[in-house]
Amino acid sequence: METNIEHILTQYPKNDRGFLIPILQGVQTFYGYISPEAVDGIAAFTGVSAGEIFGVASFYAQFRFTRPGKHTVKVCLGTACHVRGSGRILELMERQLKIKDGGTTSDGQFSLERVACFGCCALAPVLVVDKDVHGRMSSTKAQKLLKKYEG
């Protein structure tokens, strides 16, 4: 039930726009994405219109409006990762998972995202699966890693 966001809202003061982004983050952390129903609930609570909430949420890269896969693969495309070949790793992931970045596999197992920088530049290229950070990646290592999360 993605519509029940009461337990998140009650942690914040009512009608205070300054908490709009923390509330959106709370909902996304709990449900993995922001559903239209959740936006309506937040609108009623904060007094900001649903349209404006979409406007704010869609501005930031963090928020997504569709359900994510079971695992989220994030490829770092920071400068150090880029010069050490992370673009090729992203392409490989896209081919392996048969989705583009931002997409989710049809079986709902994996979502693929690109991230500007994780700040682990010294261990470039970096791949993050769910909450696990994997450094010193290569195409072959990345392929093996993906297998670990399959099934």
Partner 1 sequence: MPMLGMPTLGELRTKALAEWQALEQNDRTQVLIGAATCGQAAGALDTIKTFEDLQAKHGLDLMLTKVGCIGVCYLEPVVAIRKPGQPMILYGNVDKRAVNLLTQNWLMGENPCADLAIGVFGDRAMPGIAPISSNRMLGTERLILRNCGIIDPTRFEHYLARGGYIGFERALSLSPQQVIDEVKKAGLRGRGGAGFPTGTKWQICRDQPGKEKYLICNADEGDPGAFMNRSLIEGDPHVLLEGLLIGGYALGAKEGYVYIRAEYPLAVQRLRDGIKQLHELGLLGKNILGSDYSFDIHIREGAGAFVCGEESALMGSIEGKRGMPRSRPPFPATSGLWGKPTVINNVETLSTVPTVMRIGAEEYAKVGADRSKGTKTFALAGKVKNTGLVEVPLGTTLRQIVFDIGGGILDDKQIKAVQTGGPSGGCIPADRLDIPVDYESLTAAGTIMGSGGMIVMDEGTCMVDVAHYFLSFTQNESCGKCPPCRIGTKRMLEILERIKAGQGEVQDVERLEALAKTVKSGSLCGLGHTAANPVLTTLRYFRDEYMAHIVEHRCPAAVCPALITYQVTDDCNGCTLCARMCPNNAIAGEKKQKHTIDTKACIRCGACYDACNYNAIVVH
Residues in touch with partner 1 (CB under 8 A): 17-22, 24-25, 46, 48, 55-56, 59-63, 77-85, 88, 91-92, 95, 115-124, 126, 131, 133-136, 138-140
CB closer to partner 1 out of 35 and 127: 127
Q: How many CA atoms lie within 13 A of 5 on its CB side?
A: 28
CB closer to partner 1 out of 112 and 126: 126
Identify whether the C-beta of residue 86 lies closer than 8 Å to the C-beta of residue 77.
Answer: yes
Q: How near is the Cβ of 10 to partner 1 at its closest, in Å?
A: 18
Q: How near is the Cβ of 89 to partner 1 at its closest, in Å?
A: 8
DSSP assignment of 77-88 equals: --HHHHHTTHHH
Q: How near is the Cβ of 32 to partner 1 at its closest, in Å?
A: 14
The phi, psi pair for 110, rounded to 5°, reads -130, 140
CA distance 42 to 149: 34
